[in-house]
Amino acid sequence: MTAPVIEATDITKTLGAGASQVRALNGVSLALTGGELTLLMGPSGSGKTTLLSILGCMLTPTSGEVRILGRSIAGAPPGQLAELRRDHIGFIFQNYHLLPTLSALDNVRLALDVRGEPAGTALAKAKDVLATVGLSHKINAFPRQLSGGEQQRVAIARAIVGDASAILADEPTGALDSENGHAVMLLLSRIARDTNRGVLVVTHDPRALPFADRIIHMEDGRILNEEYSTTINGKRDWFDTATSFRRPKVTAGDEADWQPAHEAMSYAPAAK
């Protein structure tokens, strides 16, 4: 088994101050492994975005430890966290967050430009990646000239162009219709086939379920339980050993917990 690309242990996070203080995360442990697409699900306010921000080195936990490729980020200053994000993590957001003044090509190239990669190779790589997300014909279009699905594919291209070890997506299909949502999930599951790359997707969208290798359910700042999609084929034998993370609330073999979710699948999973 490959070592986790991101490993979080016993994370707590308190947000806000004074009377409005919220404990957004309360002892969360989780490992994201290469070659795996994990869904993070849970009710609104359960702490999914907060957890994603911490795993992505955008927020520092109140307590607990985060390791990126085995290295602890404890005490790293903002500049170093930015470097970690730049070199190891690709982000995908519900609202795409493309730079409106730049073309699709430049938006993708930007991820390499901030690393100081020479313009020539950066452009070539950006074109390649835009081709893999099926946007070769739109490289000179500006975000306002692209559909939501196309914009999200540009954002995916930007996230993967730098060979990030972890792709973290917060509701990537949230603003998309089912066709575009499907295309985006398909892309993400393909990206997760690379064993050096783990993909974590926060979603409310049940249509994303078939693409998942693993589903983590959160509630009230805690991980409630986890499921493995391999159960579709009736294989549950690696349920306990597949990962190195701790699952505080799920006991091995707790079939009733995860079985129903997969019966609700609306479309076929991507071939793996």
Partner 1 sequence: MKARPTMSTSLIIKIASRNLLQDRLRFIATIVGIVFSIVLVNIQMGLFLSFERMVTTMIDHAPADLWIVPFGTKCFEDPSLLDAQDRTKALAVPGVSQATPVMIGFSEWTVPNGGTTPVFVIGSDESGAGLHPWNVTQGDTASLSSPNAVAVDATYFGRLGITKLGDTTEIRGQKARISEITDGIRSFTTTPYVFAPLARAQAYMGTPPGKVSYLLVNLAPNTDIAAVRNQLQTKLSKVEVLTPDEFRNRSRNFWLFGTGAGAALFAGALLGAIVGTVIIAQTLYSSTKDHLNEFATLRAIGSSNLYINKIIISQAVLSAVIGFAVAAGIGLIVVGMTARTALPIVMTPELTGGLFLLTVLMCVTSSVAAVVQVVRIDPARVFRQ
Ligand X SMILES: Nc1ncnc2c1ncn2[C@@H]1O[C@H](COP(=O)(O)OP(=O)(O)OP(=O)(O)O)[C@@H](O)[C@H]1O
Strand partners, 4: 33
One residue of 85, 125, 182, 217 binding partner 1 per CB under 8 A: 85
- Alpha-carbon distance 83 to 113, whole Å? 13
The helix/strand/coil state of 87 is helix
What the block records as the tokens of 193 is: 């086939």
- 76 is in the binding site of which of ligand X, partner 1, Mg ion, none (Cβ under 5 to 8 A by kind)? none
> Does residue number 49 form part of the binding site for Mg ion (CB under 5 A)?
yes
Phi and psi at residue 102, to the nearest 5° = -110, 150
CB of 105 to partner 1, least distance (A): 11
Helices 104-113 & 148-160 angle (0-180, nearest 10): 20
CB of 38 to ligand X, least distance (A): 15
Of the two residues 11 and 191, which places its CB atom closer to ligand X in the complex? 11
> Does residue number 77 form part of the binding site for partner 1 (CB under 8 A)?
no
Instruction: Find the angle CA(17)-CA(23)-CA(28) to the nearest 5 degrees.
Output: 145
Nearest to 165 by CA among 52, 233, 69, 258: 69
Give the contact letters, 22-61, x = binds to ligand X (CB under 6 A), - = no.
x-x-----------------x-xxxxxxx-----------
> Does residue number 115 form part of the binding site for partner 1 (CB under 8 A)?
yes
Stretch that binds partner 1, among 20-28, 81-89, 131-139, 240-248 (CB under 8 A): 81-89
Count interface residues toward partner 1 (CB under 8 A).
38
Percent helix, strand, coil in the chain (nearest 5)?
Answer: 35, 25, 40
Q: Which DSSP letter does residue 133 get?
A: T
Stretch that binds partner 1, among 32-40, 49-57, 131-139, 185-193 (CB under 8 A): 49-57
Residues 176-235 that bind partner 1 (CB under 8 A): none
> Does residue number 53 form part of the binding site for partner 1 (CB under 8 A)?
yes
What is the C-alpha end-to-end distance of the chain, expressed in Å? 17
Binding site for partner 1 (CB under 8 A): 49, 52-53, 56, 58-59, 79, 82-87, 89-91, 93, 95, 97-102, 106, 109-111, 113-119, 122, 158, 170
